[in-house]
Structure 1
Amino acid sequence: MKSKKLWLGLGALVIVAAVLLLVYRTFAPKPVEGAKTVTVEIVHGDGSTRTVELHTDAGYLGEALDQEEGLVEGEEGPYGLYIKTVDGETASDADRTWWCITKDGGEVTTSADLTPIADGEHYELTLMGY
């Protein structure tokens, strides 16, 4: 009896997960095709800034950042590119710093590789500390 309830519960969980995945894939933001210009403002740990214009056909921010030679470096993680270095400045676990991605000052809830871009958008990469 308990085994039957367990299997029914697991089956229901799998169905709910599949439905949620389908809804996400259906309504998730899609990248814009074609040429676009995206502005990226880099805010260094000392407060200095540098603005870079990216001219790209990339659909996602991570790909566009990667195309700009030497702008970002990182490692692949479970959610795509984990940005460790921007414009020569490296975030450090020892200093408890990390690179934060925002769009027009607002929170971006996806990684760079999962953030679709469109022409004229403005992003910020800011070195943050805990």
Structure 2
Amino acid sequence: MNNPVPISTLFIGLSGFIAFALSYIVVMERISTRVWHGGSKEEVVTQPNYLDKPSKWAAFVENYTQKSFATKTSDDGVLQRKVRAFGNFTEYVPLGLTWFVYLVGAGICVYYGVVGVLS
């Protein structure tokens, strides 16, 4: 029980990379389905369409994304599942990492407590 920080740092760092990868997957799915907020086209029907009268910058970005990415015409729930996977990850992993750090630290507290009592 030398130092519990490297193992917790490893798991926290790996979780950060996984979160980055999941967010990248969600962004790429949003680009291909052209749903910028919400989980489906039905959820955003009441929202204003900012591309009705776009600024020059918005028109440039819109033209670039249409040329650069293949867009999907149907939404079969793939975006919702990917958003939910990212949401579940961001909800539960920090709690799990907190408990992991607590458990690793609790073992050291017990160790030093026993050493302190015996010495």
CA radius of gyration, larger in? 2
Normalising by structure 1, what TM-score? 0.25
Greater fraction strand = 1
Q: Which has the higher contact order (CA 8 A, sep 6+)?
A: 2
Greater fraction helix = 2
Normalising by structure 2, what TM-score? 0.27
